[in-house]
């Protein structure tokens, strides 16, 4: 085995171009498990630890460019005010030890339907910045997941960063598991209100072959909010509308039975999480000071 | 390949390291530091917890080559010579050690917590130790030990 240690981003891209089979290594919390258990013996590891840019983030034009290797611990501690949904999701990942190493780039690389970053990325409207020596492209996150543990990266590409709009409204994340720590999600749900565009976005984890959005539910809710002038007035949502939103979210699932749960339970639980997160987010939106001055 | 790193303040060099092996393996098998325990090798148990450049991590999930040039603190580095570190003393006094297999990882994690947060609430302790499994104690004496270490620290200060 060869251990490639590029000193910077240019070198990393050149190494990936020269050795498309090289396995990128970020926090190692997925890769090392496979190596330790003998599930994988790649010819080359491409260690990204020394690529400084991957550990940094910058904010410009209302958007955060989050380096692929920024660990979950940093997202929780430093970025909660800009990316509340992703920060909530980060808090549910594994343990402090794992969160000190692992980040969103690795979660996207693995592209497990259970990855906790995905519902938050979908709800926020994130884009993946993929790069190679051929150039850079931005992939809307919903197009990034192409199958169970498959993603849209070309063999010579690396993830440089994820771009997320700074939250313009409340965001929520909820996950079902057997305990608080160290739990792979039975199912998970992310929700973001976008008052600026009068839209609502969702993300569902562990309930389909890939992370998915509940498109029909989003459209339904946007319609209800518009028709009822909810964005203008901050009026509470009717429980019938919340129930229909939940049902449409459950219908967006395509779950399986496995050791962690049954398909039926997952579908049910996604509906419950959808209703709950919507209630929390809408209440938070209504409670914003100055949001509805002069509203009826 | 070889890996040069600082462990418990001492610059060390491991030779003949296989590219796919972990920092845990290097510490235990190549540098003669078996304090960090190997139980699951998949990040689940925390018995291999070390501080890597200040942050507690599972040494079993750090590739040896990633530790090149880094500063590592293992359980062997907590005591000051013969003088036990406050968390070590508190674990003994509170009876937080039974078979002892989980203890090194818990000590490193608890020590890291108290460095960050000298007077942790119970939720902080539970959260900080959520990645460390113990099959013997039922955790209550471990909670007691961390509270004791924190209390002694504040009395001393
Ligand atoms: C005990 C334990 C508990 C866990 N619990 C959770 C959990 O609760 N929720 C959850 O979502 N995950 C969990 N995981 C899985 C893992 O921690 C996450 O998937 C994490 O985000 C991976 O990040 P990493 O930096 O460690 O990735 P790595 O292991 O370094 O890499 C993961 C994959 O991404 C690729 N990759 C990494 N960086 C790049 C890049 N810049 N460009 C292209 N490809 C790249 C790698 O080649 C590899 O295929 C857990 C893992 C363990 C060991
Ligand atoms: S041996 Fe590293 S976490 Fe269990
Ligand atoms: S004392 Fe035996 S595992 Fe904790």
Please report the beta strands in chain A, taking only residues with DSSP state E, as ranges in sequence order: 2-4, 23-25, 44-47, 57-60, 63-67, 127-132, 135-140, 145-147, 150-151, 158-165, 171-176, 187-194, 199-205
Question: What whole-number percentage of chain A has pLDDT above 90?
Answer: 95
Q: Which of A190, A185, A181, A211 is nearest to A98 (CA)?
A: A181
A25 touches chain B (CB under 8 A): yes
Q: B42-55, pLDDT tens digit by residue?
A: 999 999 999 999 99
Tokens of A108: 């996207």
Distance (Å, whole) CA B155 – CA B15: 45
Mean pLDDT of chain B, nearest integer: 97
Q: A230-249, pLDDT tens digit by residue?
A: 999 999 999 999 999 999 99
The reply to whether A263 falls in a domain is: yes
Residue-range definition of the domain harbouring residue A269: 171-286
ipTM above 0.85, yes or no: yes
Which chain B residues have a beta carbon less than 8 Å from that of A36?
22, 41-42, 60-61
The reply to whether A282 falls in a domain is: yes
pLDDT (average), residues A102-112: 98
Q: Is the pLDDT of residue A290 over 80?
A: no
A34 Cα to chain B: minimum distance (Å): 8
The reply to whether A77 falls in a domain is: no
For residue A202, the domain's CATH number is: 3.30.390.50
Question: What whole-number percentage of chain B has pLDDT above 70?
Answer: 99
Q: Position of tokens 């400084």? A: A52
Question: What whole-number percentage of chain A has pLDDT above 70?
Answer: 98
The reply to whether A118 falls in a domain is: no
Q: Is the pLDDT of residue B8 over 80?
A: yes
Cross-chain Cβ contact B20/A41 below 8 Å: yes
Rounded CA Rg of chain B: 15
Answer whether B1 contacts ligand 3 (Cβ < 6 A): no
pTM of the entire structure?
0.97
The reply to whether A110 falls in a domain is: no
pLDDT band at A296 (very low <50, low <70, confident <90, very high): very low
Of B157 and B131, which is predicted with more confidence? B131
Q: A152-200, pLDDT tens digit by residue?
A: 999 999 999 999 999 999 999 999 998 888 889 999 999 999 999 999 9
For ligand 1, the distance from its centroid to the CA atom of residue A101, given in whole angstroms, is 9
Give the DSSP H or E segment for B49. Answer: strand B49-52
Distance (Å, whole) CA A217 – CA B118: 47
Number of domains observed in the structure of chain A? 1
Domains and CATH numbers, chain B: 3-77 (3.10.20.30), 86-156 (1.10.150.120)
The reply to whether A267 falls in a domain is: yes
The reply to whether A199 falls in a domain is: yes
Coil/strand/helix, residue A43 = coil
The reply to whether A2 falls in a domain is: no
Give the DSSP H or E segment for B71. Answer: strand B71-73
pLDDT for position B154 = 86
Which neighbouring-strand residues pair with A204?
Answer: A189, A212
Q: Is the pLDDT of residue B132 over 90?
A: yes
pLDDT (average), residues A64-69: 98
């Amino acid at each position: 085995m060869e251990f490639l240690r590029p000193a910077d981003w240019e070198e990393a891209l050149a190494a990936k171009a020269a050795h498309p089979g090289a396995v990128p290594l970020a926090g190692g919390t997925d890769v090392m498990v496979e190596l330790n258990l003998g599930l994988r013996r790649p010819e080359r590891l491409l260690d990204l630890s020394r690529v400084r840019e991957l550990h940094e983030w910058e904010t410009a034009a209302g958007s955060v460019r989050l380096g692929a290797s920024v660990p979950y611990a940093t997202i929780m501690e430093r970025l909660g005010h800009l990316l509340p949904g992703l920060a909530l999701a980060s808090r549910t990942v594994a343990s402090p030890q794992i969160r000190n190493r692992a980040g969103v780039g690795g979660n996207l690389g693995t592209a497990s339907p259970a990855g906790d970053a995905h519902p938050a990325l979908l709800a926020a409207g994130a884009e993946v910045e993929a790069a190679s020596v051929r150039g850079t492209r931005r992939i809307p996150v919903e197009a990034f997941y192409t199958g169970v543990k498959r993603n849209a990266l070309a063999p010579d590409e690396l993830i440089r960063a994820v771009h997320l709009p700074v939250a313009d409204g409340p965001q929520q994340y909820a996950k079902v598991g057997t305990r608080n720590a160290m739990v792979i999600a039975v199912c998970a749900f992310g929700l973001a209100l976008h008052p600026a565009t009068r839209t609502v976005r969702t993300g569902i984890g562990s309930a389909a072959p890939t992370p998915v959005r509940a498109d029909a539910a989003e459209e339904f809710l946007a319609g209800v909010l518009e028709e009822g002038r909810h964005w203008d007035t901050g009026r509470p949502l009717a429980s019938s509308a919340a129930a229909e939103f939940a049902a449409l979210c459950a219908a967006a699932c395509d779950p399986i039975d496995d050791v962690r749960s049954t398909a039926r339970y997952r579908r049910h639980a996604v509906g419950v999480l959808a209703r709950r997160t919507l209630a929390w987010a809408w209440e938070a939106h209504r409670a914003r000071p100055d949001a509805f001055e002069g509203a009826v | 390949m070889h890996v040069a790193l600082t462990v418990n303040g001492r610059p060390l060099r491991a030779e003949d390291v296989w590219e796919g092996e972990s920092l845990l393996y290097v510490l235990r098998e190549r540098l003669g530091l078996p304090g960090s325990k190997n139980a699951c090798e998949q990040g689940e148990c925390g018995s291999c917890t070390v501080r890597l450049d200040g942050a507690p991590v599972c040494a079993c999930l750090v590739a040896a080559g990633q530790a090149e040039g880094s500063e590592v603190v293992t359980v062997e580095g907590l005591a000051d010579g013969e003088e036990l570190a406050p968390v070590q003393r508190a674990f003994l006094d509170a009876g937080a050690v039974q078979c002892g297999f989980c203890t090194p990882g818990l000590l490193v994690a608890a020590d890291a917590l108290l460095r960050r947060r000298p007077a942790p609430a119970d939720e902080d302790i539970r959260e900080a130790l959520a990645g460390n499994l113990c099959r013997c104690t039922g955790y209550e004496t471990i909670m007691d030990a961390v509270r004791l270490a924190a209390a002694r620290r504040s009395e001393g200060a």
